[in-house]
Amino acid sequence: MFLGTHTPRLDDKGRLFLPAKFRDQLAEGLVVTRGQERCLYVFPMAEFEKVTATMREAPTTNRSVRDFMRVFLSGASDEVPDRQGRVTIPAHLRHYAGLDRDCTVIGQGSRIEVWDTASWERWLAEHEQAYSDTSEEVIPGLL
């Protein structure tokens, strides 16, 4: 399970140092793709296979399904971290997420999100109070 917030940097070659606590789970390979809110999603390969299996069950006669799958899968890149725990983030994905140097990596349970640090800080500032103020069940049965 991926948890927490980490602040690695991209190097000059577009490589991201994966947080040490995530490296073992990603050592055999991962998939990085476009996420929502202009971040990147990083999945362990086995988890990405589950996600795509679920997608195959969706009705491709629905335009929204086709559009979502096109964006999600066309940006996907399978990668294997190097011995130092670095993973290359392809240029088109760095551009999509606005990644330059400072990144924030957040654990999201079964996946990781990679954000430009300034974008993450803005998003969190805009949404943290709403989270705190939530007075009704958002995820059934959670709390």
All structural domains of the chain with their residue ranges? 5-133
Taking only the tens place, the pLDDT of each residue in 71-113 is: 999 999 999 999 999 999 999 999 999 999 999 999 999 999 9
Asked if residues 121 and 49 have their Cβ atoms less than 8 Å apart, the reply is no
C-alpha separations of 12 from 17, 91, 100 in Å = 12, 12, 9
Asked if residues 103 and 15 have their Cβ atoms less than 8 Å apart, the reply is no
| CATH number belonging to domain 5-133 | 3.40.1550.20
Q: How far apart are the first and last CA of the chain?
A: 19
Within 1-143, residue ranges assigned H as helices are: 20-26, 45-56, 63-74, 91-97, 117-133
Taking only the tens place, the pLDDT of each residue in 5-31 is: 999 999 999 999 999 999 999 999 999
Burial of 41 (0-12, 13-18, 19+ CB in 10 A): buried
